[in-house]
Structure 1
Amino acid sequence: MLHTSRRRLRAVLLAAVSATLVAASLPSPEPLGIGDRLFPQLGNPGYDVLAYDIAFTYRGINSEPLDAVTKIDALATRQLQRVNLDFAHGTVRTVEVNGLPAEFATGGEDLVVEPSFAVAAGTRMRITVTHTSDPRGSQDAGGWVRTGDGLVMANQADAAHRVFPCNDHPADKAYFTFRVTAPAPYTAVANGRRVARVLTGETGVWAYRTSHPMATELAQVAIGRSAVIKRRGPHGLPVRDVVPAADRTRLEPWLRKTPGHLAWMEEKVGRYPFETYGVLIADARTGFELETQTLSLFERSLFTGNALPEWYVDSVMVHELAHHWFGNSVSPRTWSDLWLNEGHATWYQALYAEEKANQSLERRMRLAYQLSDGWRTAGGPPAAPRPPVPGKKISIFRPVVYDGSALVLYALRQTIGKDAFELLERTWVALHADGTASTQDFTQLASRIAGRDLGQFFQDWLYAKRTPPMPGHPGWRSHAPTRHAAPAAPRASSGRR
C-alpha cells in the first residue's frame, strides 16, 4: 500500500514537471479563430461545446457590471495544452478546468486558458469561469442592451462574447441553461422554458433551459419590470410574450397576432421547431429587431409609433418568426451563408404581406431587381459578401442579404416551379433541423429536388458581380447607382438592423 502511494506521488510530480516544461515552451497567448472568411478570429479550434450553464447576478442598476459564472461542458477534438474562449468585455476572476485551478490570460478578444494538465483528444472537459459581465460601453457593439427598466441581449453577429465566455460562432451550437438572480420587483426571462423560480424576501432566482441546441448569437436574457403573458399557439404550443408591465394592455392587439403568424408559417414550411415562442418588447432604441431563439426581440417604438402601416409591422413580426426555421433551427455554417437566414426571412415576410395585405410580391421583387446591381457593387454578391467595415461588424447586414437574397429565391421559384420550390423549403428545414448547413448544402438539395443540375444557376445568382436575367421577366433591368449615390433598399425590416 505504501509502495503504491509512492508510485502515485511520483507520477503526479512527473506530470506536474512535464506540464511546467510544456507551459514554458508554449507561445504567448493569442487569439486563434476558426478562419471564418468574414470574422477570421471568431470561434476557436480544438473542441466542441456541448452545453453552457450561465449564472448572472443583477443588482437593479443596468449601468453596473453583473457578477457571473459561466460553466462550459465541451468535448476536446484534439489534445489541448491551452483552450481559447471568446470573451472581450468583462473581468475574469478565476478559471477552473475539470475542477482544478487554471492559468489564464487575454489575447485580443480571446480568453486563453492553460489547464493544470493537458486535455486529451476525445475527452470531456468542464471549464468554469468566474467573471463580470459588463453592460457599459457602446451599445452599437452588441451584447447587453440597456433598456428603460433593465437589460436585454443582442448578440448578432459576434457579440455574445461581450456577455459571457464562449465559442462564439454559429458552427458550434450547444444547449443552454441560464440562472438569473435579481431584485424581487424584476422579472428575468431567457431562451427556452422556465424550469425554476424561487422568490426569497427581496430577491428572485430564475432558471431557464433550452430543449434544442442554440448558436451563441441567439442567446437571450432579459431583465426588467416586465409582464409575461401566456397563451397557446398551434397544437398547444406554449407562447409567452414579455413586455414592459405598463404597456401590457396597449400592446395586446399586437401580441395576440402571434398564434396566427405561427399557423401561417407552419402551413408554409412545417411544424414550429422549438419548445416555445414569444415576443420580447424592449423599451430601447436599437434600430433593429432580432430573432433570439424562442423569444424574438423587438423595439417598443415599432408597435407604439404611427410611422408604419399595420400590415408592415405585421410582416416584420413574421420576418423574425421565420428566422426560427431559417437561421435558428438551421444555422449558417459560416457567416458567408448569412443570405440563407435573411433571404428566407425576407421572402416569407414579403409573401405574408402579399397574402394577408395584398402587397404584391412581384412588385417588390421587381424593385429589388432594379436595385440589385447596386447592392452587389456595394456589398458583394449574396453568398460572397464583402467583409464588415472596420469597427462596424454589423455592416455585413446589407440590403444584398435581405431583398437581394430574397430575389435569388424568387428566381429559383421561377426556374423550378412553385411545387418544387415549396418541397425544397420543407425538406431543407426538416433535413437540417437543430444543425448547421452551408450554401453548398442548399444548392445541392435544390438540384436533387428539381431533378437537374442547378449549378450554373446558383453560380450566377449567388456569386456574380452583376444580377443575371430574371426567369420569366426578360424586361426587368438592374442599374448600378451613380458613383456618389447609395443604393436604397425597399422598405423592409432586417433581422439585425
Structure 2
Amino acid sequence: MLLTPRTLRMGTALVAAAASTALIAASAPQPAVPLGVGDRLFPHLGNPGYDVASYDIAFTYRGDNKKPLDAVTKIDAMTTSRLERVNLDFSHGAVRSVEVNGHPASFASSDEDLVVTPEHALPAGAPMEITVRHTSNPAPGKEEGGWVQTKDGLAMANQADAGHRVFPCNDHPSDKALFTFRITAPKDLTVVANGVPIGKTREGATTSWAYRTLHPMATELAQVSIGRSDVLHREGPHGLPVRDVVPAKDRKVLEPWLEKTPAQLAWMEGKVGRYPFENYGLVIAQAQTGFELETQTLSLFEKEVFTEPAYPAWYVDSIMVHEMAHQWFGDSVSPRTWSDVWLNEGHATWYEALYAQEKGHQPMERRLREAYKASDSWRAAGGPPAAPKAPKPGQKISIFRPVVYDGSALVLYALRQEIGAPAFERLERAWVRVHRDGTATTADYVKLASLVSGRDLHDFFQAWLYGEKTPPMPGHPDWKSTPVQKAATAAKAAGAAKG
C-alpha cells in the first residue's frame, strides 16, 4: 500500500457512518467467541487449528454497486488440531447456510468471526471442506476496506484486514492459499480478477467469468474488478503477459503511462531477479481511496494518479514501481505477522526511490537524509520499524505510518552502507528466491543478511529495527535526527501559521 498525498491532507477516508450488516446466524449450544492467531497488531485476525489450501469464490453482481452480491465461498483446508468448532473471519454480509464436508453445520457470529459447529468434531490432520452461502455487501460500514465502490462498478482493497469484509476466510497473511474466482455480471460489464482466465460464458443478459491464481496468495491481496472497462494487453520481459484494466473512455489518456510497465518490470528484474507470478498489470479505478495497493498481479490505482497535472512524471513512475516492487516484497514473500510489514513497505519504498534516482534524476541520498532528520519523530509517533504501534481504534490502515515507508527504507540504506552494495544486492536476490511463494519474518531477514554478508548483524538490526532512537548512519557521521520535542514544536508552529 502506498498512501498518496491526498491521504495526508484528508486523513483516513475509508471510515463510513453506515453500520455493517449483521450476520444471520443459527443458534449454537454455547456462546461463540472470536479467536486469532496471536498477531500483536490484530489480536483476532486469522484463526487457529487449520491451514487453507484453496478458496473457490463465486459472486453474482446485478449492476448496482450499493446492493449486496450473492456469493458462495468454498474453502478447502487441512486441520492442524482437533476442532469442535471452526472459526472463520467474516463480517459485513449475511450468512444463509454453512456445510462442512458436505453436511449442514450450525453457525453463529461473534464480533468479526463466523463460528461454525460441524455435526462431529474434526480430528487433527483431516481434510476439511467448508461451503458458505452468503451475501457480500459493498456498502461502506464502520470498518475500513473491502469492496471499493467505483463510478462504474466495484474493485477490492483488502489490506490490512478487510478480506473478511468480502468473503469468509482465514484473513491473515500467514495462511496463503490458491484462489479461484467465478463472477456473474451484466453482459455489458467487464470482470477481471487475480490469476489467469479459465472460462467465460454468456447466458441471456449476463456473462460469467472465471479466474484462477497459479501461485498462493494472502487474502489481503485478492482483487476483483467489475466495471465498464477495457483490458489492454502487451508483453513484458520473457513474454510475460501484461494486462491493464482501465475505464473504457480513458484508455487513450492512460496508455502513455501503461506502456511503461514492461520496461519497469525489466528494471526490477535487473535488481532482484525474475518476476514471480503468472502475469502483471494495473487496475485503474474511478474512485478516490487515498492510496494505491499491491493486489497480487493486479495493482490497484486511482485514476487521478495519472491525470492530476500537479504530479510530475518521475513521481508517477516511481509510484508505479513501488506497487510493482511489492509483487516480490509483500506478495510473493508475504509477512508472517503484521509487525513484519516494514519488509513490505521498506523495500517497495527503496526501489521506488532507487528508480526515481536512476530514471528521474531524484537523488536517493537527499531523500534519505531528510528521512533521517525525521526518523526519531516517526519512531516516537509510530514505534520503531519492526515493532510498530497498534492501529488507532477504527482505523486499521493507520499502521501504515511514515516509519514503515521512508523510515524502513532508511534501515535498508544503513544496511547497504554497513555491508557494502555488492553484499546488499546479493541479499535482496537471495531473499526473494529463498522465500518465494511463502511467508517470512524479520528474524528470517536478519539471519539471511548475516549469512550473505558473513557477519553477525543481530546487534545492527536490533538497534535499527527496535531502537527508540535512530542509530548513527554508517558512512554519514554528519547526519542528524531532529530532536522529537523540537520537531513537534516546529510542526505545531507550522500548523498554527497555516490556520
Which of 449, 470, 485 pairs up with 1:467?
Answer: 470
Matched, 1:91 2:91: no
Matched, 1:293 2:301: no
Relative to 1, partners in 2 of residues 1:139 and 1:403: Cα closer, same or farther, differing over 3 Å? farther
The corresponding residue for 1:210 is: 213
Aligned counterparts of 2:142 and 2:468: Cα–Cα separation in 1: 34
Please report how far the alpha carbon of residue 118 of structure 1 lies from its aligned counterpart in structure 2 after TM superposition: 1.1
SS, match of residue 105 in structure 1: strand
SS, match of residue 141 in structure 1: coil
The corresponding residue for 1:42 is: 45
Cα offsets for 1:92-142 (capped at 9, x unmatched)? 000000000000000110000000111111010100000000001249710
Matched, 1:363 2:366: yes
Query: Is the contact between residue 197 and residue 205 of structure 1 (CA under 8 Å) also seen in structure 2?
Result: yes
* Residues 283-322 of structure 1 mapped to structure 2, 5 A cutoff: 283-322=286-325
SS, match of residue 113 in structure 1: strand
Relative to 1, partners in 2 of residues 1:235 and 1:362: Cα closer, same or farther, differing over 3 Å? same
Q: Which amino acid aligns with 1:243?
A: V
Which of 247, 263, 266 pairs up with 1:244?
Answer: 247
Please report how far the alpha carbon of residue 200 of structure 1 lies from its aligned counterpart in structure 2 after TM superposition: 2.1
Q: Which amino acid aligns with 1:74?
A: A
Please report how far the alpha carbon of residue 307 of structure 1 lies from its aligned counterpart in structure 2 after TM superposition: 1.4
* Residues 235-384 of structure 1 mapped to structure 2, 5 A cutoff: 235-384=238-387
Query: Is the contact between residue 371 and residue 487 of structure 1 (CA under 8 Å) also seen in structure 2?
Result: no
Among all aligned residue pairs of Structure 1 and Structure 2, give the percentage whose two residues are the same amino acid: 69
The corresponding residue for 1:230 is: 233
* Residues 98-177 of structure 1 mapped to structure 2, 5 A cutoff: 98-138=101-141, 141-177=144-180
Cα offsets for 1:188-235 (capped at 9, x unmatched)? 110001111112231100000000000000000010000000010000
> TM-score scaled by structure 2?
0.92
Aligned counterparts of 1:73 and 1:439: Cα–Cα separation in 2: 29
Runs of 4 or more off by more than 2 Å in structure 1? 24-27, 480-488
Query: Is the contact between residue 28 and residue 117 of structure 2 (CA under 8 Å) also seen in structure 1?
Result: no
Please report how far the alpha carbon of residue 482 of structure 1 lies from its aligned counterpart in structure 2 after TM superposition: 3.6
Cα offsets for 1:389-429 (capped at 9, x unmatched)? 11111100000000000000000000000000000000000
Gaps of 5+ in 1: 1-23, 489-497
The corresponding residue for 1:4 is: none
Matched, 1:29 2:32: yes
Matched, 1:396 2:422: no
Cα offsets for 1:149-198 (capped at 9, x unmatched)? 00000000000000000000000000000000000010111000111111
Please report how far the alpha carbon of residue 484 of structure 1 lies from its aligned counterpart in structure 2 after TM superposition: 8.5
Gaps of 5+ in 2: 1-26, 492-499
Root mean square deviation, CA, Å: 1.5
Query: Is the contact between residue 336 and residue 440 of structure 2 (CA under 8 Å) also seen in structure 1?
Result: yes
Aligned counterparts of 1:268 and 1:435: Cα–Cα separation in 2: 20
Aligned counterparts of 1:319 and 1:486: Cα–Cα separation in 2: 32
Q: Which amino acid aligns with 2:239?
A: G
SS, match of residue 145 in structure 1: strand
Matched, 1:439 2:442: yes
The corresponding residue for 2:455 is: 452
Number of residue equivalences: 466
Query: Is the contact between residue 375 and residue 487 of structure 1 (CA under 8 Å) also seen in structure 2?
Result: no
Aligned counterparts of 2:204 and 2:442: Cα–Cα separation in 1: 52
Which of 184, 187, 190 pairs up with 1:187?
Answer: 190
The corresponding residue for 1:5 is: none
Matched, 1:429 2:429: no
Query: Is the contact between residue 79 and residue 127 of structure 2 (CA under 8 Å) also seen in structure 1?
Result: yes
Q: Which amino acid aligns with 1:349?
A: E
Relative to 1, partners in 2 of residues 1:437 and 1:280: Cα closer, same or farther, differing over 3 Å? same
Question: Which of 1 and 2 has greater Rg?
Answer: 1
Which of 70, 78, 82 pairs up with 1:67?
Answer: 70
Query: Is the contact between residue 150 and residue 223 of structure 1 (CA under 8 Å) also seen in structure 2?
Result: yes
Q: Which amino acid aligns with 2:371?
A: A
Relative to 1, partners in 2 of residues 1:54 and 1:27: Cα closer, same or farther, differing over 3 Å? same
Q: Which amino acid aligns with 1:119?
A: L
Relative to 1, partners in 2 of residues 1:350 and 1:487: Cα closer, same or farther, differing over 3 Å? farther
Aligned counterparts of 1:25 and 1:273: Cα–Cα separation in 2: 44
